[in-house]
Amino acid sequence: MPNLGSIASKQGSYSDSAVLRRASSLDYKGSTTGSFVGGGSSSYVAAGARDSELAAATRDIDTNLLGDNQAGGLPMHGRYRLGFFAQYFTVGVIYGGLPATTYGFLLGYLNTPSYVYSTCTTLLALPWSFKFILGAINDCVPIMGYRRKPYMVIGWTICAAMLVVLYLYPLPEPYYCIDPTTLEYDLEIAPCNKGAAQAGTIPTILMIFASFGYVIADVAADGLTVQYARAEPESRRGYTQSTAYLTRALGQVFASLIVGFGMNGYEYLGSFEYSLTFNEVCLIFAVLAAAMVPISIFCVDEKRLLERHTFSEYAGATWQLMRSKAFFYVVLFQFFNPAIQYVSTTAGSQVQRYWAGVETLQAQLASVVAYLFFSLALYIVRERFLHISWRLMLILTTASLNVIDVPFSMLTVFDVVRNQYFYLGETLLTELPAAAFFVVSCFVIVEMATADNEGLIYGLLTTVSNCGKSLPNAFSNQLYGLFYPALSDSSNYIAARGGDQQCFRVVVACSIAVGYAFSFASLITMPLLPDQKADAQHRLATWPHHTGYAVATCTLIFLGLGYSLTVNFLALTPLACLEFVGGQGCGTDESGSGSGEVGMAQPC
């Protein structure tokens, strides 16, 4: 199955570099200008005039915010540079590290059902869906005259506190029994602690709160980056953004190495006799997050704010923007394309663990190499494919992702080739089409923005896209929960427990094919996407504005996010057994065949 989860993760990582000029009020000042709404009524002209006055007023705020940095962007003092880039490095560590632990911890140690595992990984990215709201709070509610440093301190304090609680949280014994001779899991006997599969709720919730903490800090750091970037001379414009996000990528690589080498014990699906525990890895992350509190206080340079903007200005700018039909079509594309394309089988993680035999170290090293390939692919796309039709590029991207996946998935499912290195090879081959998909998404956002409203455009479309990406996991849990034998029951993949039957392999293959069908079905959203830059500009200049588009956008976001949160959070409660959530029903034994023996596979 196409590794859409990892692709989405990398896109989230790199797309924030495009979202850099996010929620600073310096960027929002002209988000309702007449140049954006184009040829509208006189009310739009009046709005443009009001925004021109606001732009003039905020130039004074620019000077106050940037101070001595106005000529050169980044602060010259080494301590402040260290404090600034430390924000992004540590965000990269936590952002990359917490999801990296879930494979060995949730699938290995606790043996949670795969639909619960996929839900947990989805919810760890949930805070990014609120980045626009957090940015508005960051900009409109200064604390003691500062808009960035206090929120960095608050965010890192929350993050560190949650990680310390994770370190102190007592874990149950592993799900499977450990062979005293080999120290590996003994899959041929009944599990020693069946209740471990339901013990992932509290650790996942704590990780979600830790993620909220670092996202709060990241939003504040992005606002500071905006200020530094706007002060850079034209000859070096972009240096701050690129360096900041390169630093964050290094943090993600560092986290992958910590988890890969440090959490590679047998109980975490690794190959080492001894390793760090999940709690100890959380402590390492907690120390780094806690260190950011004094660094944020003493090593971040920010001038005290003399003026502040109000939520009413944000709300007015946002509403005017959403009234555009051209913007509404892009909203529909950014929401529905990933919502359809990312529907994928819940069998993926079980195939990776039991049939491909992917270990934690190899999975993390593959992630590191994939980051490098993705960066190279971005360069190739930038140099060679900038002027190709966006729709054509995405059609070719979608097709190639699925075609490349077929041999890797099917040969593994039907036991022709079951090798972790073969299975992970797909990750590298899909980097070029993944990079093309990412670049097109960024181009669309850039073309929809003007010099005055780019921050608002980036913030809104990022929120919409993240909402769309959280939706397919909930739907996938429901859809693939209907398959029998159950795709999320690990016993069905283990030959020693009566699983890995030929008939079940066919069921898994069919579930993967359904995922392919949804991926190709996402192409129906292509007409919503401008074909190229000229088409985007034509839409902006000629398409109308109407309040109905804004109402529809708000309704779409609230309903989509509400549905996703309901189904995903139910998967973390005792109601995870409900068929509505993706389980097999609360009156059935999800881990057995009904024979009375715990952990046996279900018959076809």
Give pLDDT tens digits for 325-377.
999 999 999 999 999 999 999 999 999 999 999 999 999 999 888 888 887 87
What local confidence, expressed as pLDDT, does residue 345 receive? 95
What local confidence, expressed as pLDDT, does residue 513 receive? 97
What local confidence, expressed as pLDDT, does residue 6 receive? 44
Lowest mean pLDDT among 218-227, 297-306, 343-352, 585-594: 585-594
Spacing of C-alpha 276 from chain mean position: 26
Burial (Cβ within 10 Å: 0-12, 13-18, ≥19) of residue 181:
exposed
Read off the pLDDT band of 453 (50, 70, 90). Answer: low
What local confidence, expressed as pLDDT, does residue 357 receive? 94
Match 């949280």 to its residue by tokens: 169
- What are the structural domains of the chain? 4-569 (1.20.1250.20)
What local confidence, expressed as pLDDT, does residue 378 receive? 75
Which of 40 and 355 is assigned the larger pLDDT?
A: 355
What are the two backbone dihedrals, phi and then psi, of residue 335, each rounded to the nearest 5 degrees? -90, -50
Is the pLDDT at 212 greater than 90? The verdict is yes
Is the pLDDT at 309 greater than 90? The verdict is no
Which residue type does 203 have?
A: P
- 151-155, 197-201, 340-344, 380-384 — most confident range: 151-155
Which of 237 and 95 is assigned the larger pLDDT?
A: 95
- CB distance 238 to 36 below 8 Å: no
Read off the pLDDT band of 76 (50, 70, 90). Answer: low
What local confidence, expressed as pLDDT, does residue 236 receive? 66
Which tens digits make up the pLDDT trace of 257-268? 999 999 999 999
Percent of the chain with pLDDT over 70: 82
Report, as an integer, the average pLDDT of 223-242. Answer: 72
What local confidence, expressed as pLDDT, does residue 542 receive? 94
Which residue type does 47 have?
A: A
Which residue type does 501 have?
A: Q
What local confidence, expressed as pLDDT, does residue 77 receive? 66
What local confidence, expressed as pLDDT, does residue 583 receive? 73
Of residues 9, 180, 191, 171, the one with CA closest to residue 104:
171
Which tens digits make up the pLDDT trace of 471-508? 898 899 989 989 999 998 999 999 988 999 999 999 99
**Average pLDDT value over all residues in the chain:** 81
Lowest mean pLDDT among 76-90, 118-132, 437-451: 437-451
What local confidence, expressed as pLDDT, does residue 569 receive? 86
Report the predicted TM-score, pTM, of the whole model to 2 decimal places.
0.81
Report, as an integer, the average pLDDT of 242-252. Answer: 86
Which of 599 and 399 is assigned the larger pLDDT?
A: 399
DSSP state for residue 272 in the 8-state scheme: B
Report, as an integer, the average pLDDT of 289-302. Answer: 94
Q: Show the tokens assigned to 173.
A: 């014994």
What local confidence, expressed as pLDDT, does residue 403 receive? 92
Burial (Cβ within 10 Å: 0-12, 13-18, ≥19) of residue 531:
middle
- CB distance 469 to 125 below 8 Å: yes
Report, as an integer, the average pLDDT of 453-465. Answer: 74
